[in-house]
Amino acid sequence: MLLVGIMAATLWGIGALMGALRRQRLYMLLVLFAAVLLEQLLLPDGHPLREATGGSPALWLLLGGFGVLALIYGLGVAALRRRAERRAAPPAAAPRPAGRFSEGELERYARHIVLREIGGPGQTRLKAAKVLVIGAGGLGAPALQYLAAGGVGTIGVIDDDVVENANLQRQVIHRAADIGLPKVQSAQAAMLAQNPAVAVRPYHRRLTPEIAPELFADYDLILDGTDNFDTRYLANATAVAAGKPLVSGALSQWEGQLSVFDPARAGPCYQCIFPQAPAPGLAPSCAEAGVIGPLPGVIGAMMAVEAIKLIAGAGTPLRGQMLIYDALYGETRTIALTRREDCPVCGAGSTEEQDPSASVSV
């Protein structure tokens, strides 16, 4: 017995030095026990090895029986402990059905939900909506921020530019540390930092006729925050063909303008109002003419307001109207816009007119 005890202690110590797991060392002892029991059963009486290890199998069988009982007891206690822990643990939260809000989201959107014009149904439509913003610059920056903050479920942003130091005077979604990054990546990081509950799809590329139809088809509503007429006309033609509302903004020095172009719901399109691009030099860009820093924030935030109104079916969107804001003199005026029957994009018979008070279908 003493010899077997010494061998067991030696095996246990060697296993510990070698870093063997406790279960592996127990297996080693089990092999030793089986070998000793086997020799007691097979070797003849009086054999020196049998005498050195106890001389009789009865003692080892009794010891093995106690070991089996101890093992059964330990397994039973472990099973009872696991069962008790399962009962004490809080039940796993059931997955929320699509469109349902977490407690954090309900608190975040509480000021929307208490508005009679939005309420719970309107906020649910915002969560289900998909909005594409063209441009992550002066107009796109505030629009993207407020769409994300307001709980629009999926926001796409397409822009092929990178953040530059000259952008930071007005493009408030970007930071100095973002200089050199694609604007869509900088904007995505800012939106998710503000509201992790929304999904942001960045497209670091220019909008072209080849990709525009397929891209627009994935979204319910388009916001145009670009600064060139080629992209504006392309966005307008693609939105009209897809039957999607187009919220369009523009800036120049101290003045901004905003409208919702939606021929599918009885409004004019962008080309109805601007049949052709102005001659070079008549409509200089912000880089050429300059722009007061907060102005893009004013117009971009208004674009986000129009988008939320369209999705939630709230109020009267700026269909058939253009809002013009003169920041230098603090004046705002609204002018009526009419659809042109001879418009090459949305002329008579080219679209099916719908109820102009209808909200965006999401």
Confidence of residue 4 (pLDDT cuts 50, 70, 90): low
pLDDT at 92: 42
Tokens standing for residue 187: 């904007």
Report the C-alpha gap between 242 and 264 in whole angstroms.
9
Confidence of residue 350 (pLDDT cuts 50, 70, 90): low
When pLDDT is averaged across residues 48-61 and rounded to a whole number, the result is: 69
When pLDDT is averaged across residues 40-69 and rounded to a whole number, the result is: 71
Higher pLDDT among residues 278 and 212, named by residue: 212
* pLDDT digits 0-9 by tens, 207-265: 999 999 999 999 999 999 998 899 999 999 999 999 999 999 999 899 999 999 999 98
* pLDDT digits 0-9 by tens, 55-87: 676 776 777 777 777 778 777 767 776 666 555
When pLDDT is averaged across residues 316-342 and rounded to a whole number, the result is: 94
Backbone angles phi, psi at 166, to 5 degrees: -70, -15
pTM over 0.85: no
Give the SS3 label for residue 347: coil
pLDDT at 48: 74
What contacts 18, CB < 8 A, 6 or more positions away?
none
pLDDT at 62: 72
Q: Is the pLDDT of residue 118 over 50?
A: yes
Q: Is the pLDDT of residue 93 over 90?
A: no
Min mean pLDDT across 52-56, 77-81, 86-90, 298-302 is at 86-90
- Please provide the average confidence, as pLDDT, over all residues in the chain: 84
Higher pLDDT among residues 91 and 155, named by residue: 155
Confidence of residue 190 (pLDDT cuts 50, 70, 90): very high
Report the C-alpha gap between 85 and 278 in whole angstroms.
74
Report the C-alpha gap between 152 and 126 in whole angstroms.
5
When pLDDT is averaged across residues 27-36 and rounded to a whole number, the result is: 71
Q: Is the pLDDT of residue 6 over 50?
A: yes
pLDDT at 192: 96
pLDDT at 167: 93
Confidence of residue 354 (pLDDT cuts 50, 70, 90): very low
DSSP secondary structure letter of residue 201: E
Q: Which residue, 28, 36, 29, 32, is CA-closest to 52?
A: 36
Report the C-alpha gap between 187 and 144 in whole angstroms.
8
When pLDDT is averaged across residues 91-109 and rounded to a whole number, the result is: 70
Domains of the chain: 2-88 (no CATH), 103-336 (3.40.50.720)
Higher pLDDT among residues 7 and 190, named by residue: 190
Report the C-alpha gap between 257 and 225 in whole angstroms.
11
Confidence of residue 355 (pLDDT cuts 50, 70, 90): very low
DSSP for 251-283, please give it.
EEBTEEEEEEE-GGGT---HHHH-SSPPPTTTS
DSSP for 131-173, please give it.
EEEE-SSTTHHHHHHHHHHHT-SEEEEE---B--GGGGGT-TT
pLDDT at 85: 53
pLDDT at 358: 43
Percent pLDDT > 70 in the chain is 77
Report the C-alpha gap between 241 and 212 in whole angstroms.
11
DSSP for 169-189, please give it.
GT-TT--GGGTTSBHHHHHHH
